[in-house]
Chain A
Amino acid sequence: MQSTRRTKKIFNTAVVALVGIALLWYFVKIYQGRNFTPSIILQFVLSGLSTGSIYALVALGFVVIHNVTGIINLAQGEFVMLGGMIAIELHKGAHLPLLVAAVLSVLAVTLIGALMERLTIHPARHSPIVTLVIITIGFAFATKGIALLIWGTDPYSLPAFSKGPPLDIFGATITHKQLWIVGVTAVILVGLYFLFERTLLGKALRACAVNRTAARLMGISPERMSLFSFALSAGLGAVGGVVFAPATYITYDMGAPLSVWGFVAAIMGGLVSSPGAVIGGLIMGLLGSLGKGFTVAGLGDAIALLVLFLILFFRPSGIFGARETGREGL
């Protein structure tokens, strides 16, 4: 038993080492082939961080809902799309000031998240988790259809929140739009920390995550916490959409890829911890950006996923995950 285990370990290490060496060799070769200066690499890092912040916000939404209900909400990316679209509609259609439109949009999507929980998840709350996940997929389809109905296939964008020349950091530049994304994510993370650690509501949410039955015995209503977690996640997604809207174009079909990458980021961070989700998101953003920079654009995501496999190989529960996760999955 002991010896087979050791051979297995040696074999595993060998496999990982081989894949790692192959990747490294590939990068070095490309590095020699093109002329990369440190500032170009820094540029990749900066743009990776701003994309990663969006992934982080989506991943945070996954973690909040999963912690309280055990559900993987595959409609999480749709909240980002809705947040961006509604803000654009309010600003350009209803001519509201930019910040007012942004705040109203986040509130509206929060309400949509709560409605989703009451109308689709709550009636089926005693069903197996996988059924609830399929419900979120159905909700995502319907939302995408409604967005297509209202806004069509055109891409929309929001003006920048603040104007000014891009900042120069050691030869690389970062725009105000990107700074807004990174800054807002940081503020949200601090806010969530206070919510979960310092308020009664946050403690109630955490209690639900630890043990539902015990929480119910303490007078906490898991149903209400489930409602609250969906509303909070929807709000987080909408914030992502609002700060993302000036930096890119919002389209009706951007939700599904964001859900996928947010889920990947959340898994990488261990699916239970908020800092883990943010770090997972940033890592995914960085890997994607560096992968795209160093290889053919289309292969960037594949590189990011390969690294994720390596991480899961050593830590089957993600970077911040508990050692043993229950078999209760998706």
Chain B
Amino acid sequence: MEQKEKGRDWNQRLNALGVMFLAILVGVIGWVELAQPFGIRFRDFTGGMVTFDTLIRIGILTIVLVGLNLLMGYAGQISLGQAAFYGIGAYTSAIMTTLASRHGVLPGVSRSWWWPWLAILVGMGVTGGFAYLIGRPILRLRGNYLAMATLGLGIIMYILFREGEDFTGGNDGIAGIPRLAIGSFKIWPIERYYFLVWAIALVVIIIALNIVNSRVGRALRSIHGSEVAANTMGVDTAKYKSQVLVLSAVLASLAGSLYAHFQALIAPTPFSFAASVELLVMSVVGGIASIWGAPFGVALIYVVREVLRARLHAILHGAGGEHEMIVYGIVVVVIMIFMPEGLTAGLAKALRRAKRA
């Protein structure tokens, strides 16, 4: 018993350390880019391979993945359609901030600085409501059937994004999405946006860590262990499952809105089935049953891809996109063979071994 208490204590301290470390890392990287000590910029450290653009993308997808890990790793409910929620958020933001001011809906209001922020909240509300509505019938399904249903949902949403010409702009998408601002303080250029995205990502991680170590988190894990047993112990499994689905959808929507304001242009492709699959790969590579798996998984996949893109042609003469695809596939397979529980579990194991030694 005491051993267990100690273990929990150690875990919580580790989480606090992790949050602090991540916050400092984010701060230092941002400071390097802003102050440029000795004339060195951030990209010089990485040989121009990892830029602020990549870091922002990692931050945005971390938010999606934290939700996905809560849903898949803790509650054990597979989703192959997370990109749909991400897309609903992005499109809600894009439509509200471009069409409203173009058509003069709510003149004055739709041009004010807080309108895009309101759009983000509306997007989260819409996505959450949508997830709640589909949650009850869809979460009756299990395992592969649930995977299939969420996959179908993702494909249907993608088709709607692509075919809904009047609202979503079809294949061309929506351009001219304004940058975010607070009053007259514009959150742009890229360094400012970087701080915004990572501040939100850190808050999301902290909230998720707290959920995991709470009554709700234990209830979710009990569902993962055995739904029947959880039910018998008085856990309202249906309620918790739909709650965690709504939470993951809301987080995905928030990330989608951030993505829309970052790109200033959205098209259907990043919200397709392939995107959902990529999210699944990141989640499992990072470690599905861990909140920390989220930033690790996204960062690893992005860095691998950026490094391949930037460096592969130097190693392999005349290498192109096809070599990238091959090496990327092999890297995923190799990571999964040697770290079947994902990076975080692999690292934790190594840490524990080091502690014992």
Contact = CB atoms under 8 A, between A and B. Distances in A.
Interface of A: 12, 66, 72, 74, 120, 123-124, 126-128, 130-132, 134-135, 137-146, 148-149, 256, 260, 263-264, 267, 271, 296, 298-299, 301-302, 305-306, 308-309, 312-313, 316-318, 321, 325-330
Contact of A138 (B140, B141, B323, B336): B336
B34 to A, nearest CB: 37
Contacts of A144: 325, 329
A131 B72 CA distance: 13
5 contacts: A12-B137, A130-B284, A264-B148, A309-B149, A313-B137
A296 B163 contact: yes
Contacts of B284: 130-131, 134
| 5 interchain residue pairs of minimum CB distance | A329-B143, A142-B329, A145-B325, A141-B329, A138-B332
Interface stretch (B13-21, B152-160, B205-213): B152-160
B337 A123 contact: yes
B78 A330 contact: yes
B186 to A, nearest CB: 38
B144 interface: yes
Interface in B281-336: 281, 284-285, 288, 321-333, 336
Contacts of A309: 149, 152
A326 B143 contact: yes
Given A130-B78, A138-B336, A267-B144, 7 more contacts: A127-B341, A135-B336, A138-B332, A145-B326, A256-B273, A298-B162, A327-B226
B144 A271 contact: yes
B208 to A, nearest CB: 20
Given A130-B284, A327-B76, A329-B78, A142 B330 contact: yes
A144 B148 CA distance: 23
B100 interface: no
Contacts of A137: 277, 280-281, 332
Contact of B323 (A149, A298, A328): A149
A306 B281 CA distance: 27
A134 B341 contact: no
A75 to B, nearest CB: 10
Chain A interface, >50% SS class: helix
B155 A301 contact: yes
Interface in B135-171: 137, 140-149, 151-152, 155-156, 159-160, 162-163
Interface residues of B, number: 49
A123 B337 CA distance: 7
B132 to A, nearest CB: 15
A318 B332 CA distance: 32
A328 B143 contact: yes
Contacts of A263: 148, 151
**Of A66, A132, A329, most B-chain CB atoms within 10 Å:** A329
**Of B137, B325, B333, most A-chain CB atoms within 10 Å:** B333
Contacts of A260: 151, 155, 273
Given A141-B332, A145-B322, A260-B151, A131 B341 contact: yes
A141 B274 CA distance: 11
A151 to B, nearest CB: 10
B107 interface: no
B340 interface: yes
A302 B160 contact: yes
B269 to A, nearest CB: 14
A317 B227 CA distance: 17
A308 B328 CA distance: 33
Nearest to B282: A134
A192 to B, nearest CB: 21
Nearest to A12: B137
A14 B336 CA distance: 45
Contact of A135 (B162, B274, B337): B337
B278 to A, nearest CB: 9
Given A302-B160, A329-B78, A329-B143, A141 B155 contact: no
A186 B155 CA distance: 30
A139 B288 contact: no
Given A130-B288, A141-B328, A327 B156 contact: no
B330 A312 contact: no
Given A138-B329, A298-B162, A302-B160, A316 B152 contact: no
Given A301-B155, A327-B227, A149 B145 contact: no
Contacts of B76: 327
